[in-house]
Structure 1
Amino acid sequence: MKSPAPTTNRRNGSFGHRSTPEHLGYSPTSGHNSSKVSRRNPMAATVMSVIGIFTACFTPPDTNNSKSFVDSEEFKSSSVASEASRSGSHKARGSSRGVSITLHNSIQGEPAIVKFTMEEIFQVTRNFSPSFKIGQGGFGAVYKAKLLNGTVVAVKRAKKSVNEKHLGVEFQSEVQTLSRVEHLNLVKFYGYLEQEDERIIVVEYVPNGTLREHLDCNHGSILDLASRLDIAIDVAHAITYLHMYIDRPLIHRDIKSSNILITEKLRAKVTDFGFSRQAPDIDSGMTHVSTQVKGTAGYLDPEYLRTYQLTEKSDVYSFGVLLVELVTGRRPIEPKFELKERITAKWAMQRFIEGEAISVLDPKLDQTAANSLALEKILELALQCLAPQRQNRPNMKRCAEILWTIRKHYRELSASEFRSFSTSSQRSASTKE
Structure 2
Amino acid sequence: MPPLTDDRKFNSSGRRRSSSGRRPFSVSGRTPDRWDFSRSSGVSTASSVSAVSSASGVSTARTKSSISYRSWLVEFLKAILTCFGKPEIRPPEPRPLKSPSSTPSRSRHANSFSSTGKLSEIQKATKNFSPALKIGQGGFGTVYKGTLDDGKLVAVKRAKKTMHDSHVSVEFKSEIKIMGRVEHLNLVKFYGYLEDGDEKIIVVEYVPNGTLREHLDGFHGNYLDLGARIDIAIDVAHAVTYLHMYADHPIIHRDIKASNILLTETLRAKVADFGFARANESGVTIVSTQVKGTAGYLDPEYLKTYQLTEKSDVFSFGVLLVELISARRPIEPKRKLKDRITAKWAIEKFTQGSAIEVLDPNLLRTPATNLAVEKVLELAFQCLAPTRQGRPSMRKCAEILWDIRKDYRQLSTSYPLP
- The superposition leaves residues 2-41 of structure 1 with CA deviations (integer Å, 9 ceiling, x where unpaired) of xxxxxxxxxxxxxxxxxxxxxxx999788x7422332124
Aligned-pair distance for 1:142? 1.5
Aligned residues: 357
- 2: CA distance between counterparts of 1:400 and 1:27? 20
Aligned twin of 1:180: 181
- 2: CA distance between counterparts of 1:125 and 1:357? 46
Aligned twin of 2:59: 37
Aligned twin of 1:221: 222
- 2: CA distance between counterparts of 1:111 and 1:327? 35
Aligned twin of 1:17: none
- 1: CA distance between counterparts of 2:385 and 2:366? 29
Q: Give, as a single letter, the amino acid of the residue that structure 2 aligns with 1:312.
A: E
Aligned twin of 2:156: 155
- 2: CA distance between counterparts of 1:156 and 1:415? 43
Aligned twin of 2:23: none
Aligned twin of 2:88: 64
Aligned twin of 2:192: 191
8 Å contact kept, 2:49–2:386: no
8 Å contact kept, 1:233–1:404: yes
For 2:158, what is the secondary structure of its paired residue? strand
Q: Does 1:342 align with 2:340?
A: yes
Aligned-pair distance for 1:150? 1.2
Alignment of 1:167-316 (within 5 A): 167-279=168-280, 281-282=282-283, 286-316=284-314
Gaps of 5+ in 1: 1-24, 69-103, 423-433
Q: Give, as a single letter, the amino acid of the residue that structure 2 aligns with 1:57.
A: A
Aligned-pair distance for 1:145? 1.2
8 Å contact kept, 1:303–1:389: yes
- The superposition leaves residues 359-379 of structure 1 with CA deviations (integer Å, 9 ceiling, x where unpaired) of 111111111111000000000
8 Å contact kept, 1:46–1:387: no
Q: Does 1:165 align with 2:166?
A: yes
Gaps of 5+ in 2: 1-47, 93-99
Aligned-pair distance for 1:159? 1.2
Moved more, 360-369 or 109-118: 109-118
Aligned-pair distance for 1:394? 0.2
- 2: CA distance between counterparts of 1:109 and 1:217? 40
Q: Give, as a single letter, the amino acid of the residue that structure 1 aligns with 2:397.
A: C
Q: Give, as a single letter, the amino acid of the residue that structure 2 aligns with 1:180.
A: R
Give 1:114's match in structure 2, choosing from 111, 115, 122.
111
- The superposition leaves residues 305-355 of structure 1 with CA deviations (integer Å, 9 ceiling, x where unpaired) of 111110000000000000000001100000111111000000100110111
Distance 1:304 1:280, change over 3 A: farther
8 Å contact kept, 1:67–1:293: no
For 2:203, what is the secondary structure of its paired residue? strand
- 1: CA distance between counterparts of 2:316 and 2:345? 16
- 2: CA distance between counterparts of 1:137 and 1:381? 30
Moved more, 52-61 or 325-334: 52-61
Aligned-pair distance for 1:272? 0.5
- 1: CA distance between counterparts of 2:200 and 2:102? 20
Aligned-pair distance for 1:44? 4.6
Aligned twin of 2:4: none
Distance 1:300 1:27, change over 3 A: closer
8 Å contact kept, 1:327–1:375: yes
Aligned-pair distance for 1:180? 0.6
Distance 1:106 1:404, change over 3 A: same
Distance 1:36 1:110, change over 3 A: closer
8 Å contact kept, 2:154–2:205: yes
Aligned twin of 1:366: 364
Aligned-pair distance for 1:263? 0.9
Q: Give, as a single letter, the amino acid of the residue that structure 2 aligns with 1:53.
A: E
Question: Radius of gyration: which is bigger?
Answer: 1
Aligned-pair distance for 1:51? 1.4
- The superposition leaves residues 165-195 of structure 1 with CA deviations (integer Å, 9 ceiling, x where unpaired) of 2111000111111111100000011111012
- 1: CA distance between counterparts of 2:90 and 2:322? 32
Distance 1:133 1:126, change over 3 A: same
Aligned twin of 1:8: none
For 1:227, what is the secondary structure of its paired residue? helix
8 Å contact kept, 1:243–1:279: no
Moved more, 234-243 or 350-359: 350-359
TM-score (norm 1): 0.78
- 2: CA distance between counterparts of 1:268 and 1:45? 37
- 1: CA distance between counterparts of 2:285 and 2:331? 30
Task: With a CA cutoff of 8 Å and minimum separation of 6, indicate the structure with the bigger relative contact order.
Answer: 2
TM-score (norm 2): 0.80
For 1:154, what is the secondary structure of its paired residue? strand
Aligned-pair distance for 1:222? 1.0
Aligned twin of 1:430: none
For 1:414, what is the secondary structure of its paired residue? helix
For 1:50, what is the secondary structure of its paired residue? helix
- 2: CA distance between counterparts of 1:108 and 1:133? 30
Aligned-pair distance for 1:267? 1.5
RMSD over aligned Cα atoms = 2.3
Aligned twin of 1:51: 73
Aligned twin of 1:319: 317
